[in-house]
Amino acid sequence: MRATVIHGPNDIRIEEVPDPVVRRPTDAVVRVVDACICGSDLWAYRGVAPRVAGQRIGHEFLGIVEEVGAEVTGFRPGDFVLAPFVWSDGTCEFCREGLHTSCPEGGIWGQVGSDGGQGEAVRVPFADGTLVGLPREAAGEEKLLPGLLALSDVMSTGHHAAVSARVRPGATVAVVGDGAVGLCGVLAAHRLGAGRIIALGRHERRTAIARGFGATDVVAERGEAAVEAVRELTGGLGAHAVLEAVGTAESLRTAVSIARDGGAVGYVGVPHGGSAGVDISQMFDRNVTLAGGVAPARAYIPELLPDVLSGAIDPGAVFDRTVDLDGVPDGYRAMHERTALKVRIAL
């Protein structure tokens, strides 16, 4: 089969790789229908996150089950499925508690020795614990596919930020970051009933999506200027809930600074630049809570899925370019150069 392989910074190739096969009785083989490029993939593309030359890449996909192992009971060939960005056994103590990302048997697509999501097919370990079944007829509904695909990572991650920041009906929420996760954080906050949502971003196409997702205000400034702007919008108090979706020291510093006393920051941006943005004394003095981390998407998808299927939310709006498998290298370049927000791969 053909799959996306990374060989080094700025070096993404489409290559022939071995076809996936069932190795264990709990495996399934899934033919990929839709995949995408994640903002976190760009850290590897830019050489910030190390990768082994020839390693697979990509961790978001929808597909059709082609084969299942003897112990798989929840799926059969022909089923339409969604894969969260990590696999998990579904039975360990962490999985039972809803923290599938800490499953001792778990892993992320594209890690060394596994198939990446940006390819024609994927071997899925622990199919029963990992995959989420979708209505078979949804596979033919082109308008629905982007929204379903967003559940595999960015929408679930935005929701995790909102839950971690304790978004509640009527709350004032600020979202730091105008990438796909930040925009989905806006949508998640709106879905949870936030009364006011302040989106921090300066790219007009992205802030337009943020407004469509429910943002009531947009702050284009950064750093101290952004802190002052949010404080001014909130009468000097700050936001009850802040969603941090970037992962740099500056973004964390901004997030903590714009939180209201007694408020909470939900951080989901993949950390780059250490923890210098976290001032513990500032958090202590103002009773600001910091929570978040890797989103347990498998726990959230069953809650979010009905709203996507019904059209109540459409996180698929974050996709602004679609390519085929051969177009993936160009898709990476476009996201790296910020001429595309999030690239969908239609196979």
Query: 3-class SS at 328?
Result: helix
- Write down the pLDDT at residue 284: 95
pLDDT band at 275 (very low <50, low <70, confident <90, very high): low
Strand partners, 34: 62, 346
pLDDT band at 273 (very low <50, low <70, confident <90, very high): low
**Per-residue DSSP letters for 196-247?**
EEEEE---HHHHHHHHHHT--EEE---HHHHHHHHHHHTTTS-EEEEEE-S-
The 10s digit of each residue's pLDDT in 112-127 is 999 999 999 999 999 9
Query: 3-class SS at 121?
Result: strand
Q: What is the pTM of this model?
A: 0.96
d(CA 292, CA 236): 25
Distance, CA of 273 to chain centre:
20
The 10s digit of each residue's pLDDT in 52-87 is 999 999 999 999 999 999 999 999 999 999 999 999
CA-based nearest residue to 70, from 101, 11, 24, 31: 24
The 10s digit of each residue's pLDDT in 187-241 is 999 999 999 999 999 999 999 999 999 999 999 999 999 999 999 999 999 999 9
pLDDT band at 137 (very low <50, low <70, confident <90, very high): very high
pLDDT band at 301 (very low <50, low <70, confident <90, very high): very high
d(CA 157, CA 259): 20
d(CA 1, CA 3): 7
- Write down the pLDDT at residue 195: 98
